Structure 1
């Protein structure tokens, strides 16, 4: 049966989201009553100092980790209301993922890696859409190559294409340029940017890099597990200035 929800409203939303690890003296509050929305068809970067909770937020929003209290929704679906089987299905059908590690299967070709999530779901890729995605990431001549025959940048292009081919409601990217040189990283960010602008995709990206964040429409800043700032149409200099203040222990907004 289809998941509940509509195509209106935010692509994902956290409301009072709290995540606690451990108990007693080892208790750590990674997220402290975070409320944030991620708009459809927009590219949002999430930044913050080490330990600020940015990756934890993405993992909870993507259904990769459970929440202690509050709620996380993709579209109109509250993740905590789903069984593990339903949650797996939602991640497969509604979300795409790009990680710092490329997570490609070495025995499969680039094309087979791109379409693997669809085939696991028993679905055939839409030929026209697949052609559009392959053209966007510039891999038309490499579809028969296995990961070992591709550069790091090309492998991450495959991972981006894999995240897009199922036309997910939202793509979560966790430090997608972390293992790449500056040129390959810029290409990947350009593809994510183009997927939003040309394909109407929604992207939420965790990054520590101000230059990467400047590709986004919006930057949400976390510190000590809380949202402390929010920039729209940011430039790299403005993002870097915010980050330097947070690293210096000044989380105040202007």
Structure 2
């Protein structure tokens, strides 16, 4: 029996969507970015979302993360239903329970690396766990870059700061939107390895949108979308198995 207000999902599910729909516009010009998606993401796993351009993968991530409101359906973060929350409740939830890593880094140029890392926690009125912070900084190799401002850092270093910012609050889920899109192959592999190790070593849950089969191969599972619908998945993916799956979607 499901207790009112609790998610019917299993305790091992970090985030899930039920009959999720997102429509832009109306009438004949309506675009159905999501057309009834049912999907769940396990705690302590690294999942990639992939699909052809226009498949709805970024829209799905934005709805799962509470950045965009669904037209209908439900999104659960653990035992909290996001789709029933007011704007101020969503803002608080994102600050306290969700981490974000974006393609464009989104670091404030007037703040140094450490200040950028701590900003979301400060806005939420939280203090970092010093031992955890030291561990994250050491794993990301940022010890000698803490006082540097973004313009003094390479692209890879800036993205590592963004990863640290996402991990420090120990969020329920880290959502990564094309996190290697602005990086060269070496820096991209470095960032993906860090996300992978955060899953393996600290049981962090990571959900990543990417168009790159090499990046997606770092994940435990790849969820495929096409035309706003769930179109299958690849477990224990390799670059070749992902390419074959995407080829089957016409990507």
- SS of 1:112 mapped into structure 2: helix
Cross-structure match for 2:242:
239
Cross-structure match for 1:17:
20
1:152 is aligned to 2:155: yes
Deviations 1:153-180 (CA, angstroms, capped at 9, x unpaired): 0000000000000000000000000000
Cross-structure match for 1:252:
none
Cross-structure match for 2:115:
112
Shift of 1:14: 0.3
* Residues in 2 aligned to 1:120 and 1:70: alpha-carbon distance in whole angstroms: 30
- Farther-moved stretch of structure 1 (152-161 vs 17-26): 17-26
Shift of 1:247: 2.2
Shift of 1:5: 5.9
* Residues in 2 aligned to 1:207 and 1:90: alpha-carbon distance in whole angstroms: 24
Question: Structure 1's 195 and 5: CA in aligned 2 closer, same or farther, altered over 3 A?
Answer: farther
Shift of 1:244: 1.9
Q: Which one of 69, 80, 84 corresponds to residue 83 of structure 2?
A: 80
CA RMSD of aligned residues (A): 1.3
- SS of 1:204 mapped into structure 2: strand
Question: Structure 1's 168 and 237: CA in aligned 2 closer, same or farther, altered over 3 A?
Answer: same
- SS of 1:97 mapped into structure 2: strand
1:92 is aligned to 2:95: yes
- Runs of at least 5 residues in structure 1 that lack an aligned partner in the other structure: 249-254
* Residues in 1 aligned to 2:12 and 2:34: alpha-carbon distance in whole angstroms: 24
* Residues in 1 aligned to 2:69 and 2:44: alpha-carbon distance in whole angstroms: 26
Q: Report the TM-score, using the length of structure 1 for normalisation.
A: 0.94
Q: Which one of 60, 63, 79 corresponds to residue 63 of structure 2?
A: 60
User: What stretches of structure 1 move > 4 A for 4+ residues in a row?
Assistant: 4-7
Cross-structure match for 1:126:
129
Q: Which one of 36, 42, 53 corresponds to residue 33 of structure 1?
A: 36
Shift of 1:123: 1.2
Count of paired positions = 245
1:197 is aligned to 2:204: no
Deviations 1:15-35 (CA, angstroms, capped at 9, x unpaired): 000110001122000001100
Q: Report the TM-score, using the length of structure 2 for normalisation.
A: 0.95
- Runs of at least 5 residues in structure 2 that lack an aligned partner in the other structure: none
Cross-structure match for 1:161:
164
Deviations 1:99-137 (CA, angstroms, capped at 9, x unpaired): 100000001110000010001111111100101111111
Shift of 1:36: 0.3
* Residues in 1 aligned to 2:132 and 2:88: alpha-carbon distance in whole angstroms: 27
Q: Which one of 162, 185, 190 corresponds to residue 187 of structure 1?
A: 190
